[in-house]
Amino acid sequence: MPYLVDQSGSELVVDPTPFKTAYEDPATRRAFRRTVMFRTGVALFSLVLHVVWLYANVVFLTPVWLWITFPLWLVILYVSMAAVGRLLTVRALRPVLKVYPWQRLHDAVEIAKNGTTRISVPNPDQPEKPVSLKEGNWLGSGVTYWVRAAKAGTVGEIWFAGDPRFVGVAGVPGPGRLIVISQPEAFNDRTSARKRGVSPEARERARAAGARVG
């Protein structure tokens, strides 16, 4: 089984499963289904909170209480938007998992200065040069498992499938807690797609995973 070496000199198992791609692993497919169900449930629950808030204000509360509880509605609105946004990222999970195998990485997660989680993954074309991907944002970033765990220092080994120059899926061993992480230019049409330093094979795999390539 091939190995990579991180900056501290520790060995990294490239593929912790015997499968050619991550999605061929039955455990990965189960984790994917759990992720879809969980994200869908959270999004639906947040939308139900909107209905409850509106119903309570129309039926039970006075206009004064409407303005008093308005900040609560803003919180519910933000949570709902975040939940729906994370649900939409589920669409990118399966294409990535169907293209790339799992890598087992150690000490790859840390907290950035702005409070987000930074995951460092070896460059497939230059393994000695890690590439960082970001998870979370400065507003409400502590809500996500990865930011909380990174701040608590409880993230040791992680599994990663993808190309950190474009897009990837990170998860805890098993796998579980699947998230899509990507570079801005991988999906944003307003930025220039990455061209330099990418081998033809890596470019084709990234395109097959749904990322923009130069």
d(CA 193, CA 188): 8
Give the pLDDT of residue 16. Answer: 67
pTM greater than the 0.85 cutoff: no
d(CA 140, CA 77): 13
Q: Is the pLDDT of residue 2 over 50?
A: no
Q: Is the pLDDT of residue 53 over 50?
A: yes
Here the tokens at position 177 are 């807690």
What Rg, from alpha-carbon coordinates, does the chain have?
20
Q: E strands within 45-150?
A: 103-106, 109-111, 117-122, 130-135
User: Where exactly are the structural domains of the chain?
Assistant: 11-22+95-208, 27-93
Please provide the size of the chain in residues. Answer: 214
Q: Is the pLDDT of residue 180 over 80?
A: yes
5-14, 65-74, 109-118 — which is least confidently predicted?
5-14
The alpha carbon of 185 is separated from its chain's Cα centroid by a whole number of angstroms, namely: 16
Here the tokens at position 67 are 């303005």
d(CA 163, CA 183): 10
Alpha helices, DSSP H, located in 60-135: 63-68, 70-89, 93-97
Q: What is the pLDDT of residues 86-102, one digit of tens each?
A: 788 888 899 999 999 99
Give the pLDDT of residue 14. Answer: 57
According to DSSP, residue 189 is labeled T
Q: Is the pLDDT of residue 1 over 50?
A: no
